[in-house]
Amino acid sequence: MGASVRPSFSEGLGGEQGWPKALRGRGPQAVSGILTALGRAGLWSPRRQLLLATWQALSRALVTMDAESLLLSLELASGSGQGLSPDRRASLLTSLLLVKRDYRYDRVLFWGRILGLVADYYIAQGLSEDQLAPRKTLYSLNCMEWSLLPPATEEMMAQTSVVKGRFMGDPSHEYEHTELQKINEGGKVFEEEVVVQIKEETRLVSIIDQIDKAVAIIPRGALFKTPFGPIHVNRTFEGLSLSEAKKLSSYFHFREPVQLKNKTLLEKADLDPSLDFMDSLEHDIPKGSWSIQMERGNALVVLRSLLWPGLTFFHAPRTKNCGYIYVGTGEKNIDLPFML
């Protein structure tokens, strides 16, 4: 490890030139792992420390309630009135790091909190290199012990769409739902009332998935797409300007595009294929389902979703800070068109 170590603060491909050979070409997980292992072995040196810090800083990139920048993000998102108490914050910081290590995620983000009657669920998501790949969701009741949730499927969505009301807060709670089912028995068709049990965990999974698909947003330019397919964090993203930040068209849904192909060729001609590969918020139905506000006298732009009340997206213009958090009861606001 005697190679000339020059911590490169440059953001870009040239960053790895100064790294020692053993670290080259590895992901941030592995690099941190190697360096911390060295540290534990007593081979710690200020240089290596600097290396580790730089690497972590570089890999931090996009802030979506990232574990490292959790405190700043929570403060910026606090305008909605819901936040985390200090003990939760402290336990989150510790436990998210451990989750990252154990599950070998690229990044772990704190997604939010779903309020239940008896207890609250704290949700975190783990990401891999490809930003748009399906994320792994974890939940916890005390911010310390996290359990992995199964990925959402269509059946789950259909099943849980009948459940209404608040979450209980107990993951093993089962909702009972009676429905009429047609049963074929030897030529006779009759309907029978069947009581279907739906677990709260299933409901949790489908709600989180719905929220992500519907209202998870990201500013334009924060991600870019390469011709080979994977989507990367744009390290040269310096934030939106003030005038751009007030427009809905500068924010995209953080999911596979649905409406993009419906655009006319004229509209598509103006788009930049490496940046504009997701749906923008402009065409959301119903119109006006987002509320944009400037807080702290134009130093922070906050978008709140009216369809899923409790989702807050914040962004400090001209800086890289942005992120979203959901703190709410997990119920969709179906009265939205009447309330506008």
Q: Residues in the site for another protein, rule: CB under 8 A? A: 6, 8-12, 14, 17-18, 75, 78-88, 115, 117-118, 142, 165-166, 236, 238, 241-243, 288, 291-294, 296-299, 304, 306, 309, 328-329, 333-335, 338-340
Rg (CA), the chain: 23
CB nearer another protein, residue 128 or residue 321: 321
Q: Is 180 helix (H, G, I), strand (E, B) or coil?
A: strand
CB of 14 to another protein, least distance (A): 6
CB nearer another protein, residue 150 or residue 288: 288
CB of 170 to another protein, least distance (A): 13
- Token digits of residue 239: 């934030």
Residue 204: phi and psi, rounded to 5, are -60, -45
- Token digits of residue 99: 């989750």
CB nearer another protein, residue 152 or residue 281: 281
Which residues make Cβ contacts (< 8 Å) with residue 147, sequence separation at least 6?
Answer: 138, 139, 140, 171
Separation between Cα atoms, residue 110 and residue 70, nearest integer Å:
8
Separation between Cα atoms, residue 168 and residue 116, nearest integer Å:
5
Q: Do 64 and 109 touch, CB atoms closer than 8 A?
A: yes
CB of 309 to another protein, least distance (A): 4
Question: Three-state SS string across 239-258, please?
Answer: CCCHHHHCCHHHEEECCCCC
CB of 166 to another protein, least distance (A): 6
CB nearer another protein, residue 104 or residue 166: 166
CB nearer another protein, residue 265 or residue 339: 339
CB of 151 to another protein, least distance (A): 29
Q: Is 26 helix (H, G, I), strand (E, B) or coil?
A: coil
- Token digits of residue 98: 């451990």
CB of 206 to another protein, least distance (A): 19
CB nearer another protein, residue 98 or residue 299: 299
Separation between Cα atoms, residue 5 and residue 20, nearest integer Å:
6
